[in-house]
Structure 1
Amino acid sequence: MPSSRSRRSQGASTLERWHLWCGLVVMVFLLLAAASGIILVYKKPLIHLVMVPQAELPADYDITQMAVQLDVIATRIAPAQRDLIKAPNPEEPYWTLTGIDKQQIQLLAIDTLEPYQHNLWLLDIFAFMRILHTELFTGVIGEGILLVSGVAGLFLCISGIILWWRTKRSFRWRWVFPRHISARYLMHYHRHSGALASIILVVILLTGSIMLWQKLVSPLLSPAPSTLLPNHLEQVIPSNSADAAPSQFLLAAHEFIPDGWPTYIRLPAVNAPDASIRFRLPNEWHPNGRTSVKINSANGDITLSARSDEVSPARRLVNQLYPLHSAYGMNAVYVFLVFLGGITLIWLSLTGGISYFKKRSTR
C-alpha cells in the first residue's frame, strides 16, 4: 500500500501534468489577451499625452453647456457617425463619438467641437486592440475562446500556487527580477513570478471570465430593477416629441439624476425611438456609471434604472467587474497593478512555453 508521501507525490505529479497541458492549450490566447490588455490599460493617459495634450475640462463646465453642445453635435454630424456619444469628463476632457460600425471614433474639442486631427493612428491602434482583446476578431467564437481561456487561466493560477507551495521556502527575489535571464532557470522564473502575481492575476481573469459568462451564457443576476413612468414626456419636455432637441432629452434625464454626471448618450433614431443617457454617480468606481434614464420619443414613456448606489450588494459587486478588470476609473496604484499583471501573464506564458519546448527538443 503506497505511503502518504507517495500519494502526495503522485497527486502533485498529476496536477503538474494538468497544469502543463492546460497552459499549452491556452497559452497563445492568454498571450494575445494580455498583450492587448496592457496597451488598453493606459488608453486614456496615452490619448491625452499623444493626441490632446492641451485638453482640459473648464472649471465652470456644466450640464447646461453640455446640452447646448449636444445640439450642435447632433446637427453637424450624421447619426451613423455618432451612434454612441460620450460626454466630456475630467479624465476625458473631450467628446467621444463612436460610429455604428464601432470602428469609427472621433474626438471633438470642447471649445470648438471640431475633430482632433493629430496622431489619429493611435485611435486605430486602440480600436484594433479592443477587438483583439474582447473577441479575437472572430466575434462570438472569439469570445467563447477567451471565456474558456480565462477559466483555464484561473485553474493555472490555483494549481500553480499549490505546486509552488511545496517549495515556498526557496523563494528568492532574484527569480522574480533576474539580473541576467538564463534559459536554465526559466521554470524558476515561472514559478516564483506566478506566485507573487497570483492575486492580481486571479482578479483580472475572474472578472474577465464572469463578464464573458454574463454575455455569452447567462447573467448572474436578474435584470436590474427599473421604474416606468408612462406618458411622462409632456412634463419634462415642453414640446412635441418629434421636435424635441437632444438637449431637452439630456436636461430632462438629468432632473431625475441631479447628482450624476452624464457619460454615454444615445439619441433617438429611425428604428430606435429611445433616448438613453447613462450617469456616473459621485465616488462610483465604474467610469461610465451604471445608472440610466431612457426616454421614448414616440410615446413619452420614461424608464429609470435603480441608482447604482441603492441596489443590492450582489448587484454592486457585479457592477464593479468592469473597473476591476480594466482598471478604468481606479486609482493609479491599482492601474499599475493591472498593467503589471498583464506583463506577468505574458512572462508566465513565455517562460512556461519556452521551457517546455526546450526540454522536449533535448530529449
Structure 2
Amino acid sequence: MMRWIDLFHRWTGGIIGLVLGLLGLTGAILAFKTWWLAWLPGAGDAQRQDIAALAAQMETAMAAPGGPPQSVLFATHDFGLARLTRDEGAGAYADQSGRIVAEWGSKWDRVELWLFDLHHHLFFGDTGETVAGIAALIGLLFVITGAILWWRLRKTFKWRLVPKRMSRPAIVTHHRDIGIVFAPLLFLSMTTGMLMVLKPITTAIFAPGTGLTAPFEASKVEGGPLAAKLDWAAMFTAARARYPDAEIRLVSLPRKPGGLILVRLRQQPEWLPNGRTLVWFRPENGALVDTRNVQTMPAGIRAYNAIYPLHAGKVGGILWKLVIASTGLVLAMLGSFAVWTFWFKRPKPRARPARPAPLPAE
C-alpha cells in the first residue's frame, strides 16, 4: 500500500506540481493587491459610505464617456478607489469624487487583472478554472498522502525554510519536512480553492436541497429600459432603510433587456468583502423590487460564503494575509521543486552487473 501511495505522490506531483506552484505564487501576490496599488492617486483616501457621496459617484459614472458601465464597485476601508467595469475587460479606477485616475481597454493593460485571470482561469476561461479546481483537489490528496509518507520518517524531521543544498536528497528531505509544517494551511488552501470551483461538490456539501444560486435569485419581474437619469440617492436610501448598518458595495446594471439593477450590500457579520445581501431596483424608475437578506439564509449558504474570504485572506487582518501569502509561497516552492527533481534530478538506474559467461561444456 505504501509503495502505491509513494508512486501516486511522486508521479502526480511531477505532472501537476508546476500548476500548483503557479497558483500558489499568483495567490501570494494577489493577497497584497491593495498594497501594490497604493501608488494610484486616491488609493489611500478614507472610505466614504454616506448616501450623497455614493450617489454622486454613480451619477458621474453614468455620465462618463462611453456610456454607463456594467458595474461600479465602491471603495473599501483599505482601498480608496471605486472600480468601473465595462465590456471586453475594459474599465477604470475612479476616486470618490468620481474623477478617473486610471483607465484600461482590456485586462492585459493591468497587471492585477491578468494576474487574477491567471490565478482563477489559467488564461483559459471556464476550462482553465475547472483545471485549477481539479489541480486543487489533487493538491488536497498530496497533503494527505504526504502526511502518510512523512509519518514513517518523522524521527528525521528538521526545520528548514529552504533546502540545505540543491541536491535531490536534500530537496526531497526539505519537501517532506516543510510540507508537514504547512500541511494544515495547505489543506485549507486546497480545500477552499477546490470548493470555489467544483460546484457539484460544493452544492452537495453546503446546499444539497436548494442549490447555491436559488436563494439569491430575484423575483420574476421584468424591468424596462434603463433611464437616462435615476435618483441614486433615493435608491441607496431605500436599501439602507432595509439594512441600516450595511455597507453599500456594488451596483450592477442590467446586461440584457428586462434585467434589473442589483445593489450588493455587506452587513457587519458578513466576511465576504462585497457581501451577499441583495437589493433589486427597476431600471426605468428606480423603484425597489425585491431583497435577499443573507443573514436569514440557511447555515450551509452562510458557510459557503466564508470560503472565498478564508482562501483570499479577506478576513483576519494583516496576520491572516501573511499566513495566506506564506502558504502560497511554500506551495510555489514545493510544486516547482517537485517538478524539477522528478524530471531533471531523477536518480540514474543502477547498472546491472554483467552475468558471467557460461563455462564451455566438456
| Residue of structure 1 aligned with 2:45, choices 30, 40, 56 | 56
Distance 2:259 2:121 in 1: 29
> Would you say 1:148 and 2:134 are equivalent positions?
yes
Pairs within 5 Å for 1:242-281: 244-268=230-254, 271-281=257-267
Distance 2:163 2:99 in 1: 50
Pairs within 5 Å for 1:306-317: 306=293, 308-317=294-303
Structure 2: runs of 5+ lacking an equivalent: 350-362
2:249/2:263 contact within 8 Å kept:
yes
Q: Give how far 1:317 is off.
A: 1.1
Q: Give how far 1:53 is off.
A: 6.8
Partner residue in 2 for 1:213 = 198
Distance 1:144 1:154, change over 3 A: same
Distance 1:45 1:286, change over 3 A: same
Partner residue in 2 for 1:45 = 35
Q: Give how far 1:155 is off.
A: 0.4
Structure 1: runs of 5+ lacking an equivalent: 1-10, 234-239
| Residue of structure 1 aligned with 2:82, choices 74, 91, 95 | 95
Partner residue in 2 for 1:66 = 54
Partner residue in 1 for 2:325 = 339
Percent pairwise identity: 22
Distance 1:46 1:55, change over 3 A: same
Q: Which amino acid aligns with 1:41?
A: A
Partner residue in 2 for 1:27 = 17
Distance 2:331 2:217 in 1: 43
Q: Give how far 1:26 is off.
A: 1.4
| Residue of structure 1 aligned with 2:181, choices 177, 188, 196 | 196
Distance 2:4 2:157 in 1: 23
Q: Which amino acid aligns with 2:46?
A: L
1:294/1:302 contact within 8 Å kept:
yes
Distance 1:200 1:329, change over 3 A: same
Provide TM-score, normalisation by structure 2. Answer: 0.83
Partner residue in 2 for 1:237 = none
Kindly report the root-mean-square deviation, in angstroms, between the aligned alpha carbons of the 2 structures.
3.1
Q: Give how far 1:108 is off.
A: 0.8
1:230/1:301 contact within 8 Å kept:
no
Q: Which amino acid aligns with 1:25?
A: I
1:83/1:266 contact within 8 Å kept:
yes
2:279/2:288 contact within 8 Å kept:
no
1:229/1:301 contact within 8 Å kept:
no
> Would you say 1:13 and 2:3 are equivalent positions?
yes
Name the larger-Rg structure.
Answer: 2
Q: Give how far 1:252 is off.
A: 2.4
Q: Give how far 1:215 is off.
A: 7.9
Q: Which amino acid aligns with 1:94?
A: L
Provide TM-score, normalisation by structure 1. Answer: 0.83
Partner residue in 2 for 1:282 = 268
Distance 1:256 1:215, change over 3 A: farther
Partner residue in 2 for 1:187 = 172
Q: Which amino acid aligns with 1:55?
A: G
Q: Which amino acid aligns with 2:115?
A: M
Q: Which amino acid aligns with 2:57?
A: Q
